[in-house]
Amino acid sequence: MSFVSKGRRAMSRAVLAFVLLAPLVPQVGAAQGRVELPDFTELVERVGPSVVNIRTLERSRAAGQERGVDPNLEEFFRRFGIPLPGGRGGPRAGPDDEPQQRGVGSGFILSADGYVMTNAHVVDGADEVLVTLPDKREFKAKVVGTPDKRTDVAVIKIEATGLAAVKIGDVNRLKVGEWVMAIGSPFGLANSVTAGIVSAKGRETGDYLPFIQTDVAINPGNSGGPLINLRGEVVGINSQIYSRSGGYMGIAFAIPIDEAMRVADQLRSTGRVVRGRIGVTIAPVTKEVAESIGLGKPVGAMVRGAETGGPADKAGIEAGDIITKIDGKTIESSVDLPRIVGGIKPGAKTTLQVFRRGGYRDLSVTVAEFEVEPATRVAQSDNGGSSSAKTALGLAVSELSDAQRRELKIRGGVRVDAVEGAAARAGLREGDVVLTLDNTEITDVKQFQAVAVKAEKARAVSVMVRRGEWVNYLVIRPVR
């Protein structure tokens, strides 16, 4: 018998054994408790009838059409600040007073009587809003109240009844890695379905809200459409993408539905959104600063300035305070503060906790209604006149006059006249006003020197400085 024949017989026996034993071998996924890839067909059938296409029109000739730009792309250019291409001279679409298509977007039905949620940027500035249902019926829509640009949420109303409304989900139950699905009208292609996973929660993009980040394919026209979990519940509104090319690059952001519903409820009841404010300018707390001032970990929001006569000022909040709690809620990062304060009813009295010079204290504050906050005016100090005192920290300081302190609205502090060495590396500048050193409030040059002598060791020293209108913490690390 040849070697080949033996090999064939051995292979035949192996195949036979596998066939006989296969029913007894568990599936790998089942053995390890893995979940099979989801089938989205049922979700699409359930939620699809609640997702609408939104077209906006304007009376004047659309700028995009003058430039030969696809109206489905124009919404993207406008949303992400990309200049509209020029010089292509597209054909005129009609008389100047004839409504022209301005942009496309998506939305979803909140109630059977015709309330629809979408993004504020989808309907903002439109002369007409047209809503097309999945069954091809088209309605003119009325924008309810004033679209909230701060959260990018808007509510519109169509005259229809018996509509299929979505089910609202619980964002707190949403987990990173969870499957989610989007339905919308990318580039005007209605009822397009894409899916992916939650990439992150609480993603800060510099806007008012912490976003849900996903890898669901989102493109221009998807704006305002729902982000749906596997239970068929809406957990977010698809709102933004990160892109360098003008198209989807794997990162999309959705507004959490709990925040959006708070806005929608106000728009439906009063036509506008009312938010609370306490009148502070804030900054993040870095790990280095937290350790140097004894806070431990980088939590809370650092107060850089308080509006004169504002709620925080009246409550006794000082520049340099770290707000760690308000209304019983912990401030994990600085962006939490405006969101939580914004949700408190104006006129309500609440308690906030601040960390100040090594200890915690509770302060009572009456929340005011949000408005454009005026900047706290603080003049730059000139030299107070007394001779400078130089320390090994690399700082030369001098006294402030009483007039300068009154103008700055501070009790003490010293002016920085010269900076070198460790202080220069820490970012201090001539003209800064030192308010605290090593967690000690500074009253004058003599006291500054006394604190600096103790601090002139091989360790980090925190300094709270006033620069122009704001305060900030810096950390001086003397050379060892």
φ, ψ for residue 17, nearest 5 deg: -65, -40
Residue pair 152/238 in contact by the 8 Å Cβ criterion: no
**Between the CA of residue 98 and those of 42, 62, 92, 93, what are the distances in Å?**
42, 10, 11, 9
DSSP H helical segments within 225-310, as ranges? Answer: 257-270, 287-292
CA 210 to chain centre: 4
Active site residue 50: no
Active site residue 401: no
Residue 338 tokens read as 């405006």
Among 440, 427, 438, 436, which residue's Cα sits nearest to residue 465?
436
Residue pair 355/362 in contact by the 8 Å Cβ criterion: no
The whole-angstrom separation of Cα 287 and Cα 308 is 29
List all residues 6 or more positions away from 305 whose beta carbon is below 8 Å from its beta carbon: 280, 281, 319, 375, 376, 378, 469, 470, 471
Among the options 50, 106, 121, 199, which is catalytic?
121
The whole-angstrom separation of Cα 117 and Cα 26 is 47
Among the options 50, 106, 185, 223, which is catalytic?
223
Among the options 50, 106, 148, 152, which is catalytic?
152
The whole-angstrom separation of Cα 187 and Cα 221 is 5
Residue 319 tokens read as 């520049």
The whole-angstrom separation of Cα 109 and Cα 238 is 15
Active site residue 245: no
The whole-angstrom separation of Cα 374 and Cα 410 is 19
Active site residues: 121, 152, 223
